[in-house]
């Protein structure tokens, strides 16, 4: 990963020399690539632990990890580390993950599994996992491209400062969303058991309660974040200039709530071991990519944010909600 990203980043930033000549990007880019590769190396272990039933424990760790990540990013910005702040945040995520995995309870649990005798039962990967896995992979990649496309486009056609503001603003709201998703993520094993037993009424009761709690948390936290940044900007606190203007930040707050609805719907449907959001994700990624490129090149960050909001409000949420209601009814009718 490092061998791939380092030269790609060097080529990209060098090709946009007009936007980078006043920016020290090489050191921060090296730090970000290395820390991201290290964090990616331990990420599958967390997924493995979730598969072993430790969803609640992993979700709780991710909440603390997200909070510590953004606290360190904030301190880094306050200390004037600028572009290094993001790499520092990812490095802290890696170190905190390494420490958590080496806690006595986790270490013993993983060791016991490692030395356990493998039974004769074998999973048919091609029939039982691959049909679901490749769809999830494409959906995840589509979503990842949506969130990661803004910065390069704004960096290329606007300025490094605008791209940085967009990146920090999105990162803050992503952290809020991650914390709020804990209310639903921790219920995934329960959802799976209830689906297997066809206890759909109980499934709906638990899911909608958790989803509403998650939406309340993300709404409260999103607008608290906007209010705090507004207060800091009114006092001309320097760190507040790292974020987008308050009107655009408020729009991102609304988008965060809309996305949270889709995230909850996706967890519910995917607990059925199916992926009905594949087409939605791919089309959404393409539309967002086109609108971001056109708006970023010919207009500005304001148009980029507004178009992103309209796509979520007019296309994304209605389509995803229709898919959720249609599949939920169809799958529970047998």
Task: Give the pair of three-digit tokens for residue 139.
Answer: 């959906």
Q: Quick check: is 123 in a domain?
A: no
Q: Quick check: is 294 in a domain?
A: yes
Residues 56-106: tens digit of each pLDDT: 888 888 888 888 887 888 788 778 787 788 888 889 989 999 999 988 788
Q: Is this structure's pTM higher than 0.85?
A: no
Distance, in Å, from the CA atom of 293 to the CA atom of 138, rounded to the nearest integer, reads 21
65 & 209 share domain? no
Q: Quick check: is 82 in a domain?
A: yes
Burial of residue 74 (CB within 10 Å: 0-12, 13-18, 19+) is: middle
Distance, in Å, from the CA atom of 227 to the CA atom of 219, rounded to the nearest integer, reads 12
Which of 103, 138, 160 represents a domain boundary (last residue)? 103
35 & 160 share domain? no
Burial of residue 326 (CB within 10 Å: 0-12, 13-18, 19+) is: exposed
Distance, in Å, from the CA atom of 308 to the CA atom of 277, rounded to the nearest integer, reads 19
Tell me which residue has tokens 């967890």: 267
Give the start-end residues of each E strand in 262-313: none
User: Can you give the pLDDT at residue 18?
Assistant: 56
316 & 172 share domain? yes
58 & 147 share domain? no
Rounded mean pLDDT, 133-144: 82
Residue 326 CA, chain-centre distance (Å), reads 26
Q: How confident is the model at residue 55 (pLDDT cuts 50, 70, 90)?
A: confident
99 & 175 share domain? no
Q: Does the pLDDT of residue 120 top 80, yes or no?
A: no
Residues 245-258: tens digit of each pLDDT: 999 999 999 999 99
288 & 178 share domain? yes
171 & 222 share domain? yes
88 & 209 share domain? no
Q: Quick check: is 110 in a domain?
A: no
Quote the mean pLDDT of the chain: 87
Higher-pLDDT residue of 239, 257: 257
Distance, in Å, from the CA atom of 71 to the CA atom of 96, rounded to the nearest integer, reads 13
Distance, in Å, from the CA atom of 229 to the CA atom of 66, rounded to the nearest integer, reads 19
Higher-pLDDT residue of 235, 78: 235
Q: Quick check: is 119 in a domain?
A: no
User: Can you give the pLDDT at residue 23?
Assistant: 66
Q: How many residues does the chain have?
A: 334
User: Can you give the pLDDT at residue 161?
Assistant: 84
Q: How confident is the model at residue 118 (pLDDT cuts 50, 70, 90)?
A: low
Which of 103, 120, 138 represents a domain boundary (last residue)? 103
313 & 217 share domain? yes
Distance, in Å, from the CA atom of 184 to the CA atom of 59, rounded to the nearest integer, reads 10
User: Can you give the pLDDT at residue 334?
Assistant: 59
Q: Quick check: is 117 in a domain?
A: no
Distance, in Å, from the CA atom of 62 to the CA atom of 70, rounded to the nearest integer, reads 12
Most confident of 63-72, 270-279, 306-315: 306-315
207 & 161 share domain? yes
User: Can you give the pLDDT at residue 22?
Assistant: 63
Rounded mean pLDDT, 195-202: 93
User: Can you give the pLDDT at residue 225?
Assistant: 94
79 & 134 share domain? no
Domain count, the chain: 2
Residues 279-298: tens digit of each pLDDT: 999 999 999 999 999 999 99
143 & 284 share domain? yes
Local structure of residue 244 (DSSP, 8 states)? P
Angle at 113 between CA 107 and CA 116, to 5 degrees: 135
Q: How confident is the model at residue 21 (pLDDT cuts 50, 70, 90)?
A: low
Distance, in Å, from the CA atom of 61 to the CA atom of 29, rounded to the nearest integer, reads 27
Tell me which residue has tokens 């009761």: 205
Residue 290 CA, chain-centre distance (Å), reads 21
User: Can you give the pLDDT at residue 303?
Assistant: 97
Task: Give the pair of three-digit tokens for residue 233.
Answer: 């900007």
Task: Give the pair of three-digit tokens for residue 327.
Answer: 């599949």
Which of 68, 103, 138 represents a domain boundary (last residue)? 103
Q: Quick check: is 260 in a domain?
A: yes
Domain membership of residue 43 as a residue range: 23-103
Q: Does the pLDDT of residue 6 top 90, yes or no?
A: no
């Amino acid at each position: 990963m490092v061998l791939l990203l380092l030269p790609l980043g060097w080529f990209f930033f060098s090709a946009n020399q007009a936007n980078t000549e006043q920016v020290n990007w090489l050191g921060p880019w090296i730090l970000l690539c290395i820390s991201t590769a290290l964090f990616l190396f331990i990420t599958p272990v967390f997924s493995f632990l979730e598969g072993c039933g430790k969803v609640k424990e992993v979700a709780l760790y991710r909440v603390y990890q997200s909070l510590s990540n953004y606290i360190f990013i904030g301190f880094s910005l306050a200390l004037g580390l600028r572009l290094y702040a993001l790499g520092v945040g990812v490095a802290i995520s890696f170190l905190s993950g390494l420490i958590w995995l080496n806690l006595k309870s986790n270490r013993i649990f993983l060791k016991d599994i490692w030395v356990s005798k493998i039974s004769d039962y074998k999973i048919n990967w091609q029939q039982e996992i691959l049909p679901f896995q490749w769809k999830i992979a494409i959906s995840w990649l589509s979503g990842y491209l949506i969130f990661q496309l803004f910065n390069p486009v704004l960096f290329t056609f606007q300025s490094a400062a605008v791209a940085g503001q967009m990146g920090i603003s999105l990162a803050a709201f992503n952290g809020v969303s991650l914390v709020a998703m804990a209310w639903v993520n921790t219920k995934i094993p329960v959802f799976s058991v209830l689906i297997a037993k066809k206890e759909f009424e109980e499934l709906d009761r638990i899911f909608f309660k958790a989803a509403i709690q998650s939406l309340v948390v993300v709404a409260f936290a999103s607008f608290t974040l906007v209010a705090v940044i507004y207060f800091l900007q009114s006092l001309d606190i320097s760190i507040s200039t790292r974020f987008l203007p308050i009107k655009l930040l408020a729009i991102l707050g609304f988008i965060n709530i809309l996305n949270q609805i889709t995230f909850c719907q996706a967890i519910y449907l995917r607990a059925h071991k199916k992926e009905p959001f594949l087409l939605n994700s791919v089309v959404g990624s393409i539309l967002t990519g086109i609108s971001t490129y056109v708006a970023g090149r010919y207009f500005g960050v304001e148009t980029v944010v507004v178009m992103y909001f309209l796509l979520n409000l007019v296309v994304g949420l209605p389509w995803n909600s229709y898919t959720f209601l249609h599949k939920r009814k169809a799958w529970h009718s047998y």
